[in-house]
Structure 1
Amino acid sequence: MAEALRKGTKVKWNSSGGIAHGKVVKKVTSETRIKNHKVAASDDNPQVIVETKKGSRAAHKPSALTRE
């Protein structure tokens, strides 16, 4: 599904508070930080940065996201 997730794609994912909804910001393939949390992304382990409507950002594996 990774190839279908482009910037702006609406997605949903499971979070501690239930189902979260948002959009794809970008795909990362190198280590980065979000809210002082290390995202261990690589070419072999890409991560997708998503943003909720409230502006919160998180990183998820593409397999954890469902296209809406």
Structure 2
Amino acid sequence: MPFKVGDHVSWNSEAGQVSGHIVRVHTRDVDYKGYTHHASEDDPQYEIQSDKTDHVAMHKGRALKKLPH
């Protein structure tokens, strides 16, 4: 089940469980923080704004869990 912009999701980080909202969906490779994140139509990368900080994370769909809004 693909995610879309605006979805509320959570993921595991070094700091534990984090949640945020998807702000962009990348379907092509994207350079982010000096690293190339590989993405495609079938396996996109999701750019997520953290709920608690202004941190932006980049994750594949398999790392995310959809939360109720």
Structure 1 residues without counterparts, runs of 5 or longer: none
Higher mean C-alpha deviation, range 21-30 or range 42-51? 42-51
Structure 2 residues without counterparts, runs of 5 or longer: none
Aligned length: 66
TM-score, normalised by the number of residues in structure 2: 0.81
- Counterpart-to-counterpart distance in 2, 1:14 and 1:67: 13
TM-score, normalised by the number of residues in structure 1: 0.82
Query: What is the root-mean-square deviation of aligned Cα atoms in Å?
Result: 1.3
Segments ≥4 residues shifted beyond 3 Å: none
Equivalent residues of 1:34, 1:58 under 8 A apart: no
**1:17 corresponds to which of 15, 18, 26:** 15
